[in-house]
Amino acid sequence: MNEKKLMDPRKMLPLLLILALPGIGSAKAEECSSTYFAAADSFQRFPLTHPSRDFIAEQKAAQKGVAAAQRSLAISYEAGYRVAPCPEKALHWYTKAAKADDKFAQQALARQQQFAEQLSGPECLGRYCNASGKNATISLQARGNHFYAPVTVNGRSLEGVIDTGATLVSMSAESARFFGIDHSRGINGKMQTANGVKDIKIVTVASLDVAGITLENIPVAVGDSKHPILIGMAFLKHLRTSIEGGTLTLSR
């Protein structure tokens, strides 16, 4: 396969990992299911009967040892692009590509190792570490028409809004700086807002806590707008949620 036809990891997600407007649902595929989507179906609304031709071609090239195809396939499984997301398959193909001296794949594996070390290292304190937040249950009371919860990263907290219509967790560049999140090397993307489409950077945060529930390796969209922190499905899909009256309950 001609490597020039494969996706450039720096450019492949400009219009794919976008955020939904608040209140607009997204039918996300179950993690690691054999569910496929068209490249343009970034909200995964219309599952395909079979994988797309380009995805099949990429799989064949990856199986033949083409490093660029292995890396591109890993990105697809990591991001949930054209296929249901699957961290295990993403790691498998990143490892294959890294062994073939693909620099991007090597950086991706090094980043994952860094996350693991941070979560088990001495700089990780209290409830922000691996042993925390595993079986938590929290209840949030509605304020107006929204549910608010503290979002904590690197020991610092800001208020966020639960938003089941958002694909990712999103925040402003100012909030990211407050948390100590370096988004300068994130993946370029776009976010649909009430004022139009805005540029964003998509990064993976090693540990993100919402009101005492801690999850690891959460994708976060960082933009220049001043919108509040939106706690989207990248976090909520790992939890059980229920609403009764004016109370939202989240549990693991």
Is 17 part of a structural domain of the chain?
A: no
Buried b (16+ CB within 10 A) or exposed e, 128-140: bbeebbeebebeb
Is residue 129 a contact partner of residue 120, using CB atoms and an 8 Å limit?
yes
Range of the domain at 26: 22-118
Taking alpha carbons only, the member of 106, 80, 83, 79 closest to residue 95 is 106
Clarify whether residues 94 and 130 are in a common domain: no
Is 1 part of a structural domain of the chain?
A: no
Clarify whether residues 131 and 194 are in a common domain: yes
Amino acid present at 217: N
Residue range 93-109, pLDDT digits in tens: 999 999 999 998 888 88
Is residue 219 a contact partner of residue 144, using CB atoms and an 8 Å limit?
no
Is 91 part of a structural domain of the chain?
A: yes
The last residue of a domain, from among 118, 148, 177: 118
Check whether 43 has a pLDDT greater than 50: yes
Q: Please tell me what DSSP assigns to residue 48.
A: B
Clarify whether residues 36 and 134 are in a common domain: no
Check whether 198 has a pLDDT greater than 60: yes
Clarify whether residues 51 and 154 are in a common domain: no
Clarify whether residues 191 and 223 are in a common domain: yes
Clarify whether residues 135 and 82 are in a common domain: no
Clarify whether residues 130 and 114 are in a common domain: no
* Model confidence pTM above 0.85: no
Q: Which of 28-32, 193-197, 199-203, 216-220 has the lowest average pLDDT?
A: 193-197
The last residue of a domain, from among 118, 148, 178: 118
Q: What is the C-alpha separation between 120 and 99, in angstroms, rounded?
A: 26
Q: Please tell me what DSSP assigns to residue 134.
A: S
Report the number of distinct structural domains present in the chain: 2
Is 67 part of a structural domain of the chain?
A: yes
Please report, for the domain that includes residue 143, its CATH number: 2.40.70.10
Question: Angle formed by the axes of helices 53-63 and 67-79, to 10°?
Answer: 130
Clarify whether residues 72 and 130 are in a common domain: no
Check whether 201 has a pLDDT greater than 50: yes
Is 114 part of a structural domain of the chain?
A: yes
| Average pLDDT of the chain to the nearest whole number | 78
Strands 156-162 and 229-231: parallel
Q: Is the dihedral of CA 233, 22, 35, 217 positive or negative?
A: negative
Q: How is the chain split among helix, strand and coil, in percent rounded to 5?
A: 30, 30, 40
CA 122 → CA 150, 182, 205, distances in Å?
24, 21, 18
Is 10 part of a structural domain of the chain?
A: no
Clarify whether residues 192 and 108 are in a common domain: no
Amino acid present at 93: W
Query: What average pLDDT score do residues 72-85 get?
Result: 87
